[in-house]
Amino acid sequence: MKSPAAIAETLGQRLKQARLNRDLTQQEVAERAGLSRKAVLNAEKGKAQLEVLIAILQALELTAQLDNFLPPQPPSPIQLAKLQGKQRQRASGQRGQGDRDKDEDEQEAPEW
């Protein structure tokens, strides 16, 4: 298994290759991304913060690749159950019994 530093270095090399494939200089990418040239240089060495990496990917028009890199994760069935809480199994039939005595004309309109 590769270390996080080795993976970061590989990502940096891929960023550099993507930049070169587009015939862009580090300065041009930096300007497009709103970063310094040094930030681009560091990213290409595998030393960048996540926001810097995303800015460079946007400048290189590669953000569509992020879904391949880390696809959206659906919630697990256990997590869904926790989020939904205890669901009612059936209606109790007790709601609104007092309203049956009123005529339809006397019932109040809902306040929305």
Each residue's pLDDT tens digit, 4-56 = 999 999 999 999 999 999 999 999 999 999 999 999 999 999 999 999 999 99
**67 band by pLDDT with thresholds 50, 70 and 90:** confident
Instruction: Check residue 107 and give its pLDDT.
Output: 56
Choose among 53, 48, 15, 14: nearest CA to 33. Answer: 53
pLDDT at residue 84, rounded to an integer: 78
pLDDT of res. 54: 94
The whole-angstrom separation of Cα 92 and Cα 40 is 63
Residue 65 has pLDDT above 90, yes or no: no
Tokens 């049956």 correspond to 100
**pLDDT per residue over 77-103, tens digit each?**
888 888 776 665 666 667 655 555 555
